[in-house]
Amino acid sequence: MANVASLLAKWGKNVLIVDWDLEAPGIEKYFEKYTPDLFEQRKKIPGVVDMIHSFNQEKEINWHECLLKLFPFGSQYPVSLLSAGQDQPDYALRLQEIDWEVLFNERSLGSYLEKLREQWIEEYDFVLIDSRTGITDIGGICTIYLPDILVLFFTANQQSLDGVIDVIKRARNSRNHLKYERKYLIGVPVPSRDESMTEYALAKEWRKIFAEKLSDLYQDWLHRNKTPEDALKILRIPYIPFWSFGERLPVVEEGVDDPKSLGFSYEFLARLIANRLEWEKAFKNRKTIFITNTKENSAYEQKNHQWFLSAMPKKTRE
């Protein structure tokens, strides 16, 4: 998510990251190198947990006052971040004190979130939400309530694959019961920790499994002349041990030109998002990123404005 957000901002898009991975926050760590005093700001500036507490006390915080500015490609390409909460010793306790069921059923938290969603739509081109894996009280907000699409990261094992299929099915079923209008929830599967460069035969075998089991998800948005197998050859995140240490941004450090690099893979995902999942445009327009609102060659009715995306990682977050 950090890499994709950085590229979208570099291409002139107004981007907001919301760290809703409340139980294991920290996406800002990827930007520490590029943003002076970031962690000092984290200690002072409120985030999601603080906003929820203030809402419960009928003392709403203006979310604009909670934003951190990140500069992965310099000050001219800022990314806005709404963190999980102030980085203080009592953060875990404050999170545990939140009774999500009571807030939704008795305090109209849903209306508050809907208001935030509408305001974010007005101000940003893309809202990227870092989410917990699965359907939980916290994760459900990110998989059911807020997103237009789910970016589903998974690895080459049955548990991970079945997990993302279950997440999208349950999220779609739950959205049918929302009192707020939502379009059909799109799922974008992205295999991660891909070992195609070192275990070619096994990787090819697993791509066939992915294509078969995730076929319906791809058909929701993939160009009609493309197959899931075509998508899986390109839309994947390779495993490169060098980048598994610490929190870093390969799109900044190594660039995006090498087809075998992480940066190249993240750039294609970012281009796909920037072009509203229009595969042909994302594939062809590598140097010129643009967004169109036309429906030509599109497999589903697109939104003509901003997108909410929840990223659902499986064990790893890159």
The DSSP symbol for 244 reads: G
**In the prediction, which pLDDT does 77 show?**
94
> Could you give the CA distance from residue 141 to residue 83 in angstroms, rounded to a whole number?
16
> Could you give the CA distance from residue 95 to residue 49 in angstroms, rounded to a whole number?
6
* pLDDT over 90 (residue 287): no
Compute the mean pLDDT over every residue in the chain, rounded to the nearest whole number: 88
For residue 194, the cross-strand partners are 238
pLDDT cut 90: percent of the chain above it:
75
**What are the C-alpha distances in Å from 304 to residues 28, 65, 69, 293, 295?**
30, 28, 27, 5, 10
**In the prediction, which pLDDT does 292 show?**
37
- Give the pLDDT band of residue 286 (cuts 50, 70, 90): low
Per-residue pLDDT of 159-190, as tens digits, reads 999 999 999 999 999 888 888 889 899 999 99
Per-residue pLDDT of 222-262, as tens digits, reads 988 999 999 999 999 999 999 999 999 999 999 999 999 99
Parallel, antiparallel or unpaired: strands 79-82 and 67-70: antiparallel
Which single residue is written with the structure tokens 């240490």?
245
Q: Count of CB atoms within 10 A of residue 35's CB?
A: 20
Are 187 and 218 a contacting pair, CB within 8 Å? no
Residue 308 phi, psi dihedral angles, 5° rounding: -100, 130
Per-residue pLDDT of 191-219, as tens digits, reads 999 988 889 899 999 999 999 999 999 99
> Could you give the CA distance from residue 15 to residue 209 in angstroms, rounded to a whole number?
34
Residue 80 phi, psi dihedral angles, 5° rounding: -90, 140
**Domains and their CATH numbers in the chain:** 2-312 (3.40.50.300)
Per-residue pLDDT of 119-137, as tens digits, reads 999 999 999 999 876 556 6
Q: Which pTM does this prediction carry?
A: 0.88
**What are the C-alpha distances in Å from 79 to residues 12, 89, 102, 210?**
10, 27, 33, 33
- Structure-token pair, residue 12: 């002139």
> Could you give the CA distance from residue 163 to residue 181 in angstroms, rounded to a whole number?
26
- Give the pLDDT band of residue 315 (cuts 50, 70, 90): very low
Per-residue pLDDT of 16-75, as tens digits, reads 999 999 999 999 999 999 998 998 999 999 999 999 999 999 999 999 999 999 999 999
**In the prediction, which pLDDT does 142 show?**
82
35 Ramachandran zone, left/alpha/beta (phi>0; psi -120 to 50) = beta
